[in-house]
Amino acid sequence: MSHLLEIRDLKVTFGGLDALSGLNFHVDEGEIVSVIGPNGAGKTTFFNAISGLVEATEGDILFEDESVLGLEPHQVTGLGIARTFQNVRLFPNMTILENVMVSQHCRTRQLVFGALMQTRAFKQEEREIRERAEAALGFFGSRLVGYRLEQAAFMLSYANRRRLEIARAMATQPRLILLDEPVAGMNPMETAELTGLIGRLRSEWGFTIVMIEHDMRVVRDVSDRVVVLDHGVPIAHGSYDEVSTNPEVIEAYLGRPVESRA
């Protein structure tokens, strides 16, 4: 019964607009779930609500049977939920290594004293932070390591920025990763590669993944289940094949055929 993430009757209202209404949803440990839907369906709002960036109006969000509502975003991250952003938001003036090191903030403890005295504990922790950062970056092959470690993040290509964002999320040592359009703007080859990597995130790193994606081939290839949102309401739910043949989903994406209109 116990799900990793459970969402009950979630409702998010901006002014008079219901961005999300009556969303019920759950993710079990080790699953890859995709959230799809046309633009403005409330997918990113859904992610923002989970990670604490927007406040839920009604309903509840449970992570490991504990409510995360009312927690600050950094506390949510501390519980083990990491995320990426749709419009890549790195720390552009920090080096690639620093980008990944800084995201381990909530897993580390050292404060001013250790840094000033250069205590053994401080050095040990710095070493561990660096090792973990390099491990996360190494997941993407040779692209983000080597001379790149000391390069500023703004110098990366678009695809590498997306990769770095995922590495940054991985370094927070989460149990659940929320990927917001991870392959948007990538070319077909990069997309195919990243699709494989998303699978490996689960099999090698043990992350549970919820992913918003528009690229149906990626959705088909990696997800165990698919949830379709439209106007803040879930309209379909099931395996990719079930969802992709669902007439309601087709209608939401493509509109109703002309002749059937009343």
Partner 1 sequence: MSATMNAPISGSSTAPALFDLDWRRIGTWGGLCALALILVSLIGMPVGLDRRMIIEGRLSLGYLALLWMPLLFGYVVSKRVVLEGVETPDPGARDVLAGFCTGVLAGLGPVLLILGIDNFNLREPLVNWGPPLLEQLTFGRGIGFGIVAWFGIGAVLGLLGSALHVLPKDVRRVISFVIYGLLSISVLEAVISDLSEGFGLESLTDEMYARRGGLTVKSSVIVAVVFGVFSMLMKGRVKSATSRYKELQGEERKRASMMLFSGVAVLCIVLPLFLGKIVNELLANVGLFLLLALGLNIVVGLAGILDLGYVAFFAVGGYTTAVLTSAESPFFAPELHFGFALIVVVMMAGLTGLVIGAPVIRMRGDYLAIVTLGFGEIIRLLFMSDWLKPYFGGAQGITNVPPVDLGFAVVTGIDPRSVFYLVLIFCILAIYVSWRLQGSRLGRAWMAIREDEQVAEAMGINTVNAKLMAFVVGAMMAALSGAVLAAKVGSVFPNSFMILVSIIILVVVIVGGMGNIAGVLVGSFVLIGVLGGPRQPGLLQEFQSYKLLIYGALLVFMMLQRPEGLVPSARRSQELHQEEFLQDAWLKGEDHDTEEAAVAAAAGGSEETGEQA
Q: Are 43 and 237 a contacting pair, CB within 8 Å?
A: no
Q: Is 30 left (phi over 0), alpha (psi -120 to 50) or beta?
A: left
Could you say which residues in the range 167-196 bind partner 1, by CB under 8 A?
168, 172, 187, 190
Please tell me whether residue 46 binds partner 1 under the rule CB under 8 A. Answer: no
Helices (H) and strands (E) in the chain, counts: 10, 10
Closest approach, Cβ 50 to partner 1, in A, equals 11
Tokens of 139: 């997941």
Q: Which is nearer to partner 1, 21 or 173 (CB)?
A: 173
| The binder of partner 1 chosen from 15, 16, 120, 142 (CB under 8 A) | 142
Distance of CA 226 to the CA centre of its chain: 15
| The binder of partner 1 chosen from 157, 217, 242, 245 (CB under 8 A) | 157
Q: Which is nearer to partner 1, 106 or 216 (CB)?
A: 106
Rounded CA-CA distance 160/82 in Å is: 19
The contact pattern for partner 1, residues 95-124, with x = CB under 8 A and - = no contact, is x--x--xxxxxxxx-xxx-xxx-x---x--
Closest approach, Cβ 251 to partner 1, in A, equals 34
Binding site for partner 1 (CB under 8 A): 51-53, 72-74, 77-78, 82-83, 85, 89-95, 98, 101-108, 110-112, 114-116, 118, 122, 125-126, 129, 142-143, 146-148, 151-152, 154-157, 159-160, 168, 172, 187, 190
